[in-house]
Chains A and B, each alone.
Chain A
Amino acid sequence: MTDTDRGTQRDRHSAFSLFTQQSLPACKPVLTPEWVIMTFLFIGFIFIPVGLVTLRASHSVVEIVERYDIGCVPEPFRIDKVSYIQDDSIPKNCSLSFKVPKYMKAPIYIYYQLDNYYQNHRRYVKSRSDKQLLHGQNEHGISSCQPVEVNNDRPIIPCGLIAWSLFNDTFTFIRNRAELKVNRKNIAWKSDRGHKFGKNVYPFNFQNGTLIGGGKLNPTIPLSDQEDLIVWMRTSALPSFRKLYGRIEKDLDVDDVVVVHLMNNYNTYSFGGKKKLVLSTTSWLGGKNDFLGLAYVFIGSSSVTIAVVFTLLHLLSPRHYEDTSYLPWN
C-alpha cells in the first residue's frame, strides 16, 4: 500500500465513495435448503388457514340465482324471441317465485346478472362523454359518443352507446302477499354521484331515435340522481357481470316463498345473452366466491408438498456447499 492509498483512505470509506467504487456493504443471501424449505412451509402454514377462513366466509354468503330470460317469454313466442321483445304491444310482465333455502340476514342485495354481454368491447367502452355527464349540453366533445351522439341534429344527453343500452327490467318482490320494500337509493358509488354525474344535467333528447336501445330516463331528474344509469355506466371488465339493483332491508327466513313480478323489457335475445336475478347476502370478503379460498388451499398444500419433497431430496443427497472440488478446473 502506498502513501496515496493511506491518504485517500478516509475518502474511500465515505458513503459516496463506497457507492462509486461499488463496494457498499452487501448482504448476499444463499438459497440454503433450510431457508427454502422453511419458506415453503411458512407459505403452506399461512395459506391453508387463510384459505379455510376465506372459504368459510364465502360459504356463509347465501345466494339465490334465478335465470328468467327464457322463462319469461310466453310459450308461443319462444321460436322468435327477438320479435317478441321488440313488439311493444305485447305486455312484458312475468313472475317468478322461489323458496329461500337459508336464513338471509338483511341487507340482502339484489343484482341483475347479464351473461355473454360484452360491456368491455372497445367501441362500447369508448362510447361515452364524461364531460357531458358532468357539465351537460354546453360542453363540446361528444364526438366520442359515436354512434349515438345526436338525434334530429340535437345532442343527446346522456350520449353514447353505454347510456343508450341502459338496462330496464324492473322487479317487485312479494313475500306472503305483502310487498317487500326494495331500497333503490345509494346503489351507485357516492364519488360517481358527486363528481362524475352533474347535479344540473338533465336527460335530453334521450331514446328519441328510431332505434331504441334500452331504458328511458325521467327528464326531470338530474343525472346525479339517476342511480340506475350511474351503476350501468360503471362498465364491467368481464362479459359476465352483476349490477346492483337495490337492497331488501328485511331478513328472509328459511322456506319463505318470494314472488317476483318483473317487467322483461331488456333485449338480450338478439345476441344470445342471459338474464339472471340474484339475491345475495354479503360477508367481509364480498359475495359468494370460492375461488380465493380454493386457490389459497391449493397453493398452501402445494407449498407443503414442495417443502416435503425438498426435505427428502436434502436428506437423501445432502450437498456440501463449500465443495468446489467438482469445478471442472479443480
Chain B
Amino acid sequence: MKLVFLPMQQTISEDLGQVEYIMTDKTGTLTENRMIFRRCCISGVFYGNESGDALKDMKLLNAVAGGSPDVVQFLTVMAICNTVVPIKSKTGAISYKAQSQDEDALVNAAAQLHMVYANKNANILEIRFNGSVIKYEVLEILEFTSDRKRMSVVVKDCQTGKIVLLSKGADEAILPYAFVGQQTRTFIEAVEQYAQLGLRTLCLACRELREDEYQEWSLMFKEASSTLVDREWRIAEACQRLEHDFEVLGVTAIEDRLQDGVPETIETLRKAGINFWMLTGDKQNTAIQIALSCNFISPEPKGQLLLIDGKTEDEVCRSLERVLLTMRITSSEPKDVAFVVDGWALEIALKHYRKAFTELAILSRTAICCRVTPSQKAQLVELLKSCDYRTLAIGDGGNDVRMIQQADIGVGISGREGLQAARAADYSIGKFRFLKRLILVHGRYSYNRTAFLSQYSFYKSLVICFIQIFFSFISGVSGTSLFNSVSLMAYNVFYTSVPVLVSVLDKDLSEGTIMQHPQILFYCQAGRLLNPSTFAGWFGRSLFHAIVVFVISIHAYAYEKSEMEELSMVALSGCIWLQAFVVALETNSFTILQHLAIWGNLVAFYVINWIFSAIPASGMYTIMFRLCRQPSYWITMSLIVAAGMGPVLALKYFRYTYRPSKINTLQQAERMGGPILTLGNIEPHPRPMEKEVVSPLQISQPKNRNPVYEPLLSDSPNSSRRSLGSGAPFDFFQSQSRLSSSYSRNCKDN
C-alpha cells in the first residue's frame, strides 16, 4: 500500500501539529464501509453463531437445500426487497450495482445461498433458486426514509398471482408492527445480541396482500405520490397504511469491519493529547459499539458514558445539568468519561443551553454524537473553534463536507462513498490509520520547521537592522547605511535564504521515536516552540550577534583601515559567517543537502562578492580581493564566529544537558541509547494549574481489541426509543458519578 498524502492547501501544514480536537465520522472513516453478511436469525433459529459466518453454517445450507419455506421466504426478501440492479457481464457472471452497501451485502449473501437475483427487466424480476426460475412483478417500491426507517416492495408472483409486501428495516420500525399473536421475543433477543457484537441489524418481514386491499391502497398511494402539498408526509402516511401486521421472518446481521489500525491510531493520538469526538448519523447503539471496539471509550469500570437526551427543552436542560454536575464532581478521578448526545437533544442544547454545552465540551475528552445532521456536525466544530481549540475534521462522505470545511483542518478519506469529502478537504488520505502519521510526523515536523524558519527569519533580519542602528550612532545619526545597496538586497535574497530553506529536511526526532512517544506532540500544541519567550530568545541572540559583529568590526578595522567599503564588507561577512554557524547549530539532522546549503552558501557569498569586486562600476571594486588577502580579515572573521557562537553553544549545551526539554531527552535517548523500548502509555502531563492532582492520570493500553460488551448505558441497546425522554437514567448517573472524572488537559492555560 503506497502512502500518499495529497495536501490541497499548503498553508495549514503547521496547524496539523497543533491539533487538539479530532472530529471523526464513523461509517467509512473508522469502518471500512464494506458490509459483510455475517449472521441471521430465521424464525427463531440462529445461524452463524458458532462459526461467525452464516454462509458457512451447515445448518443453514442444509435448510436451503431442503427448501424450508421459512428460509426460502427469508432469502427471497433478502434478494428482492431492495433497489439493486443486477448487471450481467459477457461471461455470465452477475454483479450488482447498489446504492446502499447494506443491500449489496444482502443480495450477495442471498446469491451465495443459491437465491440468485438474476435479472431485472422493466418491472419483472427474475430469481433463480436451486435451478428453478421464479419471476416477480414489482408493483410498488416504498423507498427508505430516515423517518420510517424501513423500505418495502410490493411484488406479484407471476406464477401464482399472489401479491406480497416485503419489508426490511430497523428493529424499532418492524418488530412493533408484527401481527398480533406473533412471538417477537426471539427476534428482540437476536437484535440485542447482534448489536452487542457491533453488527448492524435489519429485520425482514412480509405480508400477503389481498387483491382488493392492494388495489384500494394503490389508488391512495398514487394520489399521495402526485400531490403537490406535503407530499412526503402523505406518502409516509400511505406507506403506514400498508406496513403493518407483518409476519416477521428474521433478523440479518451485517458486519462493517473496523479499518486496520483504527484502535491503535486512536490510542496513539489520544496519548498525544488529542481529543476525539465521534459525529455520526448512525444510531446510538451502533455508535457506542463501534466506539468501544476502537478504543474510543473504555468499557466499564474504566470508562463511563453519560447520556444527554430528552425531547423537550426541560428534559434536555435537566439531563445536561446532571451530566455537567457529574463531570465537575469527578474531575480528578482517573476515568474515561464520555458523553453521548443525539441529534434532537443536541439541537435543543445548542439553541438554548449553549453555554452549559460549551462547558461540557471543554470538560469532556470524548464525545459521541449520534443521529446528527451534516449541519450539526459543522455547528459542533464551530463550537470548539469558538473555544479557541484547533480542530481537525475527518470524514469520507458527502455528509461530512460541511464539517470538513468548517474545521481548521479538514481531512478527507477517499473511500467508497466517492470523492466529495476528499475534494473539500485540505488533506486527503486513503485510510484512517494514516491520520496518525499525518499528524504526528508530518504535522509535527511542519510545525517545528515553520517555528524555526519564522524565528530565524526575524533573527537574521534583526541582526542587520541592529548593526545599522549601531552604525547610525557613529555616523552622526544621519542614517548612513553601513552596507551598500547590493549587499542589502542580496542579504535576504541570496546570502541567508538558502541554508534555512533546507531546514525542510530537518528532523528533530526520528519517525519511530515519535510513534513510540506520541506524547511529544503535546509539546507543539501549546505553541511551545514558537511563543513570546522563544521569540525573545531569538531576539536576544540577534542583538548579541549584532553587537559582536559591530564592535569587533569597528575595532579591528579602526584608524587607517577604517575605509567605508572595507568596513562594510567586514561587517557583512561577519554576519554571513554567524548565520552559517547558527543554522548549523540549530539543525538537528544533517543530510548532505544541509551541508551543501550551509557551507556552499558561504562559498557562494565569496564568489558573488568577488564577481562584484571585479566590476569597476560597482561600489565595491577590488574590495573583496583586498580583504581576502589580508590576514587580519580572516583573523577578524574567526574572532566574530568564536565570540558570537561560543556563548550560544555553551548555553545550548547547558540547557540540552542539565535543563533538557522533553524533545532533548528523547533526542539523547534516540541517539545514544539505541532503540527506545519503553513505550509510554500514560496520559499527557497535567498542566501546571492542576498540580493538586496527585495520582497520575492513567489509561491502560487495552490488551485485547475484541469488543467485549459491557453495559454502558442503563438501557439495553435495542430499546433506546423507550429511554428517550423517560428520565430513567438518572439513577444510573447517580450511582456512577463517583467513578467518573474529567481531564485537566482541557483547561487551556494559555
Residues of A whose CB lies within 8 Å of any CB of B are: 2, 4-5, 8, 19, 22, 24-33, 36, 39-40, 43, 47, 50, 54, 109, 111, 113, 118, 120-123, 125, 189, 191, 195-196, 234-244, 284-287, 289, 291-292, 295-296, 299, 302-303, 306, 310, 313, 317, 319, 321-330
Contact = CB atoms under 8 A, between A and B. Distances in A.
B479 A122 contact: yes
A327 B665 contact: yes
Contacts of B479: 122
Nearest to B442: A22
A310 B616 CA distance: 51
B560 A244 contact: yes
Contacts of A295: 552, 555, 639, 643
A285 B568 CA distance: 19
Interface centre among A43, A47, A286, A327 (most CB of B within 10 A): A327
A26 B590 contact: yes
Given A236-B564, A242-B560, 13 more contacts: A2-B1, A24-B505, A111-B559, A122-B475, A191-B621, A191-B622, A195-B621, A196-B616, A289-B558, A295-B643, A319-B658, A321-B671, A324-B669
B122 interface: no
B673 A237 contact: no
B662 interface: yes
Contact of A122 (B478, B504, B622, B649): B478
Nearest to A63: B559
Contact of A324 (B616, B635, B653, B676): B676
B123 interface: no
Nearest to A120: B475
Given A43-B646, A295-B639, A302-B646, A310 B589 contact: no
Nearest to B567: A237
Contacts of A24: 505, 591-593
Interface centre among A109, A125, A284, A289 (most CB of B within 10 A): A289
A111 B631 CA distance: 22
A243 B560 contact: yes
Interface string B539-552: 00000000000001
Given A40-B646, A321-B672, A327 B680 contact: yes
Nearest to A18: B591
Contacts of B555: 289, 291, 295
Contacts of A191: 616, 621-622
B564 A43 contact: no
Contacts of A125: 480, 564
23 contacts: A8-B2, A26-B590, A28-B671, A30-B668, A36-B653, A120-B564, A121-B478, A191-B616, A237-B554, A237-B568, A238-B558, A240-B562, A242-B559, A287-B560, A296-B639, A299-B642, A310-B653, A322-B669, A322-B672, A324-B678, A327-B517, A329-B685, A330-B680
A238 B593 contact: no
B224 interface: no
Given A22-B505, A322-B669, A327-B662, A29 B560 contact: no
B478 A321 contact: no
Nearest to A244: B560
A329 B590 CA distance: 29
A64 to B, nearest CB: 14
Interface centre among B445, B657, B682 (most CB of A within 10 A): B657
A220 to B, nearest CB: 26
Interface centre among A31, A299, A313 (most CB of B within 10 A): A31
B457 interface: no
A234 B662 contact: no
B556 interface: yes
A306 B478 contact: no
The 6 lowest CB-CB distance pairs between A and B, nearest first, are A322-B673, A321-B668, A26-B589, A328-B685, A122-B478, A321-B672
A290 to B, nearest CB: 10
A322 B669 CA distance: 4
A328 B660 CA distance: 12
B669 A30 contact: no
Contact of B642 (A33, A47, A291, A319): A47
Contacts of B669: 321-324
Interface in B58-85: none
A127 to B, nearest CB: 12
Nearest to A302: B646
